[in-house]
Amino acid sequence: MAEINVTGADFAAKVLQSDIPVLVDFWATWCGPCRMIAPIVSALADEYGGKLKVCKVNVDEEGELAMQFGITGIPTLLFFKDGGIANKVIGFTQKDELEAIADSLI
């Protein structure tokens, strides 16, 4: 399952109202650590297809959404379950740590 780009307009429908856990990657094109973690996030989208929805929010294009969730550093990965934040990871993180969080929410 591919990553889904979300905006302020569709965030509630795609993330908060999801019937499965959601990983939201807050990122920017100019961010080195964001580019480093992107293949890991993409791999999680493929490996957890149907069990974990993976969404991406470009903070340069969706500044209000980033402010709404208190994003002060990127990449920030927010894990949502049942409409609320279940976990938060800031900065580059190894795949096994993200898998452990995902597995705990499924």
Q: Which of 4, 31, 89, 90 is catalytic?
A: 31
Q: Strand 4-5 and strand 53-58: pairing?
A: parallel
Q: Which residues contact 21 (CB under 8 A, 6 or more apart)?
A: 51, 52, 53, 79, 80, 81, 86, 102, 105, 106
Sheet-wide strand order for 4-5 = 4-5, 53-58, 22-27, 76-81, 84-90
Q: How many helices (H) and strands (E) does the chain have?
A: 4, 5
Q: Give pLDDT, residue 65.
A: 96
Alpha carbons 46 and 58: distance in angstroms, whole number: 20
Residue 34 known to be catalytic: yes
Q: Give pLDDT, residue 1.
A: 72
Domains annotated for the chain, with CATH where assigned, are 4-94 (3.40.30.10)
Q: Which of 6, 22, 24, 34 is catalytic?
A: 34
Alpha carbons 78 and 57: distance in angstroms, whole number: 11
In which residue are the tokens 């490996």 written?
47
Q: Give pLDDT, residue 97.
A: 97
Residue 55 known to be catalytic: no
Q: Give pLDDT, residue 2.
A: 87
Per-residue pLDDT of the chain (106 residues; tens, 9 = 90+): 789 999 999 999 999 999 999 999 999 999 999 999 999 999 999 999 899 999 999 999 999 999 999 999 999 999 999 999 999 999 999 999 999 999 999 9
